[in-house]
Structure 1
Amino acid sequence: MIGKTSLFGPVNPARDAGYDDPPARKGFFTDTSICIGCKACEVACKEWNEVPDNGFDMLGMSYDNTGSLNANSWRHVAFVEQPARPTAPPVDLGMPTLLHDGVADDGQQTTVAGEDRPDFRWLMSSDVCKHCTHAACLDVCPTGSLFRTEFGTVVVQDDICNGCGYCVPACPYGVIERRERPEAAKNVGIAQKCTLCYDRLGAGMTPACAQACPTQSIQFGDVDELRERAKQRVEALQAGGVTDARLYGADPEDGVGGAGAFFLLLDEPEVYGLPPDPVVTTRDLPHMYQRAVVAAGALLLGAVLSFLERRS
């Protein structure tokens, strides 16, 4: 597979990787406003990809029992509990909700006094590998085990990865990780992350997580189409009074050239555990190499001049 030729800026990732006539880039649009935290995506991912459990310990962090994305959790549903904020009249987000003034979830008229409303809200989001346009994990891999697929996604080849771990600190999102446990699991010591169900894509199927999502919070399709759909969803929410609605990772001009998996958020990215302004960590490599060459040339010139002076 031909490596990427550009380390920064908008590109077609599959074509840039050497595919002459690739299909439309595939990806995820995760609409967190309709995520109900059921974790069906986590279970479906584990079952299809034979990802071992991560212990499922109660972490003291709300109802979250996986904690974060890691080698044994390729999908992670975050539960963020916040104090309720003074808001305009409730806006229908298209998902099951608690009772609000006027209409109950079953469609019957009802009235709930303001003091009886909950004094908190949940922000839930199913996180996943971003399948960046410019993927630093791929750039630094010395064995070629990480490669760009014809769908524009980034996949680890387990039989080639030597477990060096260079990809781990290269990821600006902290997604990829070497599997360390359980000892009986396959691919222990090997870098692991979401493949966007590459095997299912090749068979014309929907990735397991999106297939299992009961609210269509996780939407799969062509990235360009998903970006337009996401933009329209944000505009609708903001017009309805949800002024905090925003897109994350959908901008081709951002620090990773736009993500193949992007999100509609209802608060700042940091609230969800996402970096506010991620930048591909290999962006400055050409400049670093140029400076290194200049420095090495200066040292060599100094050594030559010193040698000539001593000869004279």
Structure 2
Amino acid sequence: MSEERVGFFTDTSVCIGCKACEVACKEWNALPEDGLSLSGMSYDNTQALGASTWRHVAFIEQPAPAPAPAPAPTPAPTADGRTQLPLIDGESGGAAPGSEMRWLMSSDVCKHCTHAACLDVCPTGALFRTEFGTVVVQDDICNGCGYCVPACPYGVIEQRPTDGRVFKCTMCYDRLGAGQEPACAKACPTESIQFGPLDELRERAALRVDDLHDAGVAGARLYGHDPEDGVGGDGAFFLLLDRPEVYGLPPDPVVTTRDLPAMWKHAGGAALALLAGVAVSFAAAGRGRR
């Protein structure tokens, strides 16, 4: 890479679900619209990332966490000297009956993995790593083989039904080359989507989690920020308010091609052994004809 690696930090705690990022992404990249039919998933008409949806705002509805229970009073003895046990009202944990609902909103995007399996399996070189550390598909080189679709541990890549070619977020590669930030980050009114040098974003995100914990938001956590995780860290990482599975994200993503070097090594050893066996057979047959 000739440039400093850049990426996205998406702070879901300030996402308001306005979908400005989705609209800006579609407008800048001239992506087809997703239709206006109801999906049955709250206000989420796009439902998931795909070949024509490079930014997807997820709406997760769930009961608001119940407040921590007050300490139980010390049981007082009754008039006859027995201990009166407290009554149990419902089960512990979860949301209290009649509690309010909450929306968890998150703008999802391609993760631009450090160890990108889609790059490993592409036979044409249509996928490449840019000078900014992002992963981009060259649609004029893609032959529609689809190998990258199952290789992605996040299920981001999809083939267009019209011609089979794959498309995904480019982190607005054309805008980066012109010194501009991606369209989605530019359009975000709450700065939920932040763009910049990846190292700076990771430092900023860690401070944000500390602030939320100090404010009593115990569920705040980072996802995809760790360079030691199964994909070497993501170029697009998130601050979540609940477990990754709640947002439809794999809890422990692993680059799907991690075993390829060992597989090629074993295959090479097997091929050498087979060639050696064939050579020995020919040598033995030659001696038998003398």
Question: What is the rounded CA distance, in whole Å, between the counterparts of 1:54 and 1:151 in structure 2?
Answer: 30
Does 2:45 match 1:65? Answer: yes
Find 2:20's aligned residue among 33, 36, 40: 40
Question: What is the rounded CA distance, in whole Å, between the counterparts of 1:310 and 1:203 in structure 2?
Answer: 69
Find 2:114's aligned residue among 113, 133, 139: 133
Question: What is the rounded CA distance, in whole Å, between the counterparts of 1:118 and 1:24 in structure 2?
Answer: 47
What displacement does 1:168 show?
0.9
Find 1:201's aligned residue among 173, 176, 190: 176
Find 1:255's aligned residue among 230, 249, 252: 230
Q: Deviations over 1:18-75 (max 9, x none)?
A: xxxx221111000001111111110110000001012243211222111100001000
Question: What is the rounded CA distance, in whole Å, between the counterparts of 2:181 and 2:37 in structure 1?
Answer: 30
Structure of higher CA gyration radius: 2
Q: Deviations over 1:106-136 (max 9, x none)?
A: xxxxxxxxx9x95211111000000111111
Classify 1:202/1:170 alpha carbon distance in 2 versus 1 (closer, same or farther; 3 Å).
same
Question: What is the rounded CA distance, in whole Å, between the counterparts of 2:230 and 2:182 in structure 1?
Answer: 26
Question: What is the rounded CA distance, in whole Å, between the counterparts of 1:23 and 1:166 in structure 2?
Answer: 29
User: Is this contact kept in 2: 1:57–1:66, CA < 8 A?
Assistant: no
What displacement does 1:210 show?
0.6
Residue 39 of structure 1 aligns with an amino acid whose one-letter code is K
Alignment of structure 1 residues 142-153 onto 2, 5 Å: 142-153=123-134
Q: Deviations over 1:67-93 (max 9, x none)?
A: 1000010000111111121136xxxxx
Give the 3-state SS of the residue equivalent to 1:270 in structure 2.
helix
- Deviates most, 24-33 or 277-286: 277-286
Partner of 2:78: none
Question: What is the rounded CA distance, in whole Å, between the counterparts of 1:57 and 1:307 in structure 2?
Answer: 69
User: Is this contact kept in 1: 2:146–2:164, CA < 8 A?
Assistant: no
Q: Deviations over 1:237-257 (max 9, x none)?
A: 112211111100000111111
- Deviates most, 28-37 or 301-310: 301-310
Does 2:253 match 1:278? Answer: yes
Question: What is the rounded CA distance, in whole Å, between the counterparts of 2:222 and 2:45 in structure 1?
Answer: 26
After superposition, the CA RMSD in angstroms is 1.9
Ranges in structure 2 where 5+ consecutive residues have no aligned partner: 69-95
Give the 3-state SS of the residue equivalent to 2:164 in structure 1.
coil
Find 2:7's aligned residue among 19, 27, 45: 27
Aligned length: 261
Partner of 2:272: 297
User: Is this contact kept in 2: 1:83–1:121, CA < 8 A?
Assistant: yes
Alignment of structure 1 residues 62-101 onto 2, 5 Å: 62-87=42-67
Question: What is the rounded CA distance, in whole Å, between the counterparts of 1:148 and 1:195 in structure 2?
Answer: 10
User: Is this contact kept in 1: 2:9–2:237, CA < 8 A?
Assistant: yes
Identity %: 73
Does 2:205 match 1:225? Answer: no
Give the 3-state SS of the residue equivalent to 2:279 in structure 1.
helix
Partner of 1:168: 149
Question: What is the rounded CA distance, in whole Å, between the counterparts of 1:143 and 1:161 in structure 2?
Answer: 7
What displacement does 1:208 show?
0.6
Question: What is the rounded CA distance, in whole Å, between the counterparts of 2:66 and 2:126 in structure 1?
Answer: 50
Classify 1:56/1:274 alpha carbon distance in 2 versus 1 (closer, same or farther; 3 Å).
farther
Partner of 1:235: 210
TM-score normalised to the size of structure 2? 0.85
